[in-house]
Amino acid sequence: MTHERIVIHDHDPAWAQCYAEESRLIAARIGALIHAIHHVGSTSVAGLAAKPIIDIAIESHAYPPGARNVAALSSLEYVHDGESGVPGRHFFRKGTPRRFHLHWCPVGGAVVQSQLAFKGALIRRPDLAARYADVKRSLAGRYTIDRADYVAAKEPIILEILGSG
């Protein structure tokens, strides 16, 4: 388990450009395998406070990603963590400190559909987005927190947001 300080930043409009640039790099490397690529997570919602880590979801017919695709992403400095506890998604991370999370999913898979539904609900319901930001700031305000515990602590509000959509 990784213990680290969680820091929540006010929304930065540059996050959209970071996503666009990184998605172009990924597409240049493995584009033929990408059915769709999405900016997901809190950095994808205008005005929402977030950890400054860009979440990218790839929908691909090549699932799981396979050694060649893992190597291609590795050449872009992504580290592959397998399913990392989430069946139906292969997880990659990039940067120290982390700058990108990449979620490699099958086309139409439950994980990417949930990510897109969550993003849509946050965009449609600014009141829920504000509550979600408050929860994240409250949890991040702790001295140190385990990343897995942080994710688990957000689950009730995430389920509420997903249920609102």
Q: Which has more confidence, 140 or 69?
A: 69
- Is the per-residue pLDDT at 144 higher than 60? no
In tens, the pLDDT along 15-48 reads 999 999 999 999 999 989 999 999 999 999 999 9
In tens, the pLDDT along 47-85 reads 999 999 999 999 999 999 999 999 999 999 999 999 999
The CA-atom distances, in angstroms, between 32 and each of 60, 88, 129, 153, 159 are 9, 21, 35, 38, 34
Q: How many CB atoms lie within 10 A of CB 10?
A: 9
CB 62 within 8 A of CB 33: yes
Say what the pLDDT of residue 154 is.
Answer: 81
Structure tokens belonging to residue 35: 């059915």
Kindly report the pTM of this predicted structure. 0.88
Q: Residues 139-143: what's their mean pLDDT?
A: 70
**Total domains in the fold of the chain:** 1
Say what the pLDDT of residue 3 is.
Answer: 55
Query: How do 36-40 and 90-94 pair as beta strands?
Result: unpaired
CA distance 165 to 150: 23
136-143 contacts, C-beta under 8 A, 24 or more apart: 136/8, 136/42, 136/49, 136/50, 136/51, 137/8, 137/49, 139/6, 140/5, 140/6, 140/7, 140/8, 140/51, 142/6, 143/5
| CATH number, residue 129 | 3.30.460.10
- Is the per-residue pLDDT at 122 higher than 50? yes
Q: Which has more confidence, 62 or 160?
A: 62
CA distance 76 to 70: 10
Query: How do 100-106 and 90-94 pair as beta strands?
Result: antiparallel
Structure tokens belonging to residue 146: 């385990």
In tens, the pLDDT along 4-17 reads 678 899 999 999 99
> Quick one: angle between helices 126-140 and 147-164, nearest 10?
170
CA distance 44 to 39: 6
Instruction: Give me the domain span that covers residue 19.
Output: 3-164
- Is the per-residue pLDDT at 1 higher than 90? no
